Every structure is written in C-alpha cells, then in structure tokens.
Amino acid sequence: MKLLRFGPPGSERPGLLDDAGTIRDLSGVVADIGGDTLSRTGLEILRAVVPSSLPPVDGNVRLGPPVAGVRHFIAVGLNYTDHAIETNIPIPDEPVIFSKAPSCIVGPNDDVLMPRDSRMLDWEAEVAAVIGEHAFDLAEEDALSVVAGFLVCHDVSERQFQIHRGGQWIKGKSLPTFGPLGPWLVTPDEVSDPQDLNIWLKVNGITRQSGSTAKMIFPFSYLVSYISQFMALEPGDVITTGTPHGVGLGMKPPVFLKPGDVVELGADRLGRQKQTVVLRG
C-alpha cells in the first residue's frame, strides 16, 4: 500500500494511492495515518479495504507528510562511505545518531523556508523507515518486523548552525520545513528489498546526488536494532538513514541553496518530492 495524507497544513486527511494512481479518501475508515493505524493489525485493516470503494480525491490536492503525530524524528549521520569522505569526517565504527525536531516535518512539495541568517543551506536525499510497533532492545533479525513502511526524506541542513554553532547537529537540522516527508509511506510488501533502492536529487535540474541504499554502511535492520538499544521505539517514529555523496558541503568549492532554487528528489518505489527555497519573512 501507498498511504498518504492530503489537504491544508494542520487539517490533513488520511488517504491511499490506488494502482491507477488515484488518491482515495480513507477518512471513513481511519482517523489518520499514525499511531495504531501503523501497527500490523492496523495495516491489515487497511489492506482489507477495496480502494475502488473509497471516494476519489482531486489529484491537484496538497500532499502533507504521510505520518501524523510523529513524536520522535531520529536521524543517522555519515551512513554512506562516500559521503563521510566528501565531508572530511572519519567513517564511523558505530552509527552516528541525532534528532530532528518533529516540528520541522512538512509535506513533500511544501516550500523550504531559508532562515535570514542562513549561509550554508544544504540538501540531503534520504530513505526513512517508519516504526509501526512498540520496540525496545530488538535483535537485528527481528528489526524489520516492526517497520510499517518506507518513505523519502529530505534532511535539509543548515551547515553553519550544524557545524559552527557548538557542535550540536540538531541545531542545523530542525528549523521549520527542514523535514519534508513523502509523498507517501510505502508498506514493506511493496518494497522488495530496502537495501536496493536508488536515490537521487537535483538542484535547478542539475543532478547533485545519485546513490543507492545498497551502499549504506549500516543497513536498515542494523539501525533499527541499534537504536532500540538506547530508546524505546513507538508507532509513528521516523528513522531517516543517511545520505549518499553529492551534498553541497562536499563540492569544491562548496555550493549552497539560495532563495528561488528548486530541489527535486526521490527514490525507487517511494516517489518523488519537489520544493522551492523561499527566504523566511
């Protein structure tokens, strides 16, 4: 299934994308896409619904983030060898874990708001896993069983805030609009191998990133297991798993986003996003 949320910010309704590419309204079946809806039981209820029985939705409707009420937005840094090398940081022996504030989450095609004092606004195309079950201290072989689905994440980053403002990555990762998610959450049955997804990103039509989850240092199963050693994971938690090479910081000389730039990104089976960078008023 491809689950989504549509409508104005703050008033999104649950939906799904049928096999013909039509958005269908799920609000008569579930209140939203989040929490218990993402559990194994909740997803089985949705699988039993015949999409053609649901009301169709205008295809021009705004898409919101596919997951509602995210309580913890967990991120993994330096999870591709080539990205670690381009940023001149040693390849990690263990996953580098940090948080993005859930308040940064927006829809896949919403504008990215550039802070007025931003000097190093950067892009990062990623694939994220969404948790569907309570989980703590999982074995790696059990880790993917708690994943409700996968989605595209744009880990927008202000490098000056991240690197030069005291070393706390969350500072450069959490501003409003710095976490576009979607366009939809794709359940694992439609992702034959999450470690074989191509990822790409373009800025103003020029390809900047082209990679594959096959090159992740720590795969999805390891990351979910590892993170669950340090915290309890809950339904709706989002774990974004790092970016391949090609970020602006790694270019020589570095290149950063500016107002008016258009960023497009996507991943196999998971859809695509498109954002315009706008100076925050």
Q: Which amino acid is at 53?
A: S
DSSP states along the chain? -EEEEESSTT--EEEEE-TTS-EEE-TTT-S-SSGGGGSHHHHHHHHTS-GGGSPB--TTSPEE-SSSS---EEEEES-BHHHHHHTT-PPPSS-EEEEE-GGGEE-TTSPEEEPTT-S-EE--EEEEEEE-S-BSS--HHHHGGGEEEEEEEE--EEHHHHHHSSS-THHHH-STT-EEB-S-EE-GGG-S-TTS-EEEEEETTEEEEEEEGGGBSS-HHHHHHHHTTTS-B-TT-EEE----S--GGGSSS-----TT-EEEEEETTTEEEEEEEEE--
Give dist(CA 12, CA 4) in Å, integer. 9
Sign for the pseudo-dihedral over CA of 172, 174, 178, 181: positive
Distance CA 60, CA 30 (A): 22
Q: Which positions ≥6 away from 246 have C-beta within 8 Å?
A: 83, 86, 201, 208, 209, 210, 211
Q: What is the mean pLDDT of residues 60-88?
A: 93
pLDDT score, position 164: 87
CA 154 to chain CA mean position, Å: 6
In this predicted structure, the answer to whether residue 167 has a pLDDT above a threshold of 80 is no
Question: What pLDDT is attached to residue 39?
Answer: 98
CA dist 247 → 107, 136, 171, 207 (Å): 21, 33, 18, 11
Predicted pLDDT at 166: 84
Element spanning 220, H or E: helix 220-227
Rounded to the nearest 5°, which phi and psi values hold at 203?
-120, 120
CA distance 184 to 16: 8
Per-residue pLDDT band at 201 (split at 50, 70, 90): very high
3-class DSSP state of 69:
coil
- The pLDDT of residue 82 is 82
Work out the percent of the chain whose per-residue pLDDT is above 90. 93
Q: Which two tokens stand for residue 4?
A: 């989504």
Whole-model pTM? 0.96
pLDDT over 80 at 59, yes or no: yes
pLDDT band at 89 (very low <50, low <70, confident <90, very high): confident
Q: Which domains are delineated in the chain? A: 67-279 (3.90.850.10)
Burial label, 94 (beta-carbon count in 10 A; 0-12, 13-18, 19+): exposed
> Average pLDDT, whole number, for the chain?
96
98-156: pLDDT as tens digits: 999 999 999 999 999 999 999 999 999 999 999 999 999 999 999 999 999 999 999 99
Whether residue 49 is predicted with pLDDT greater than 90 in this model: the reply is: yes
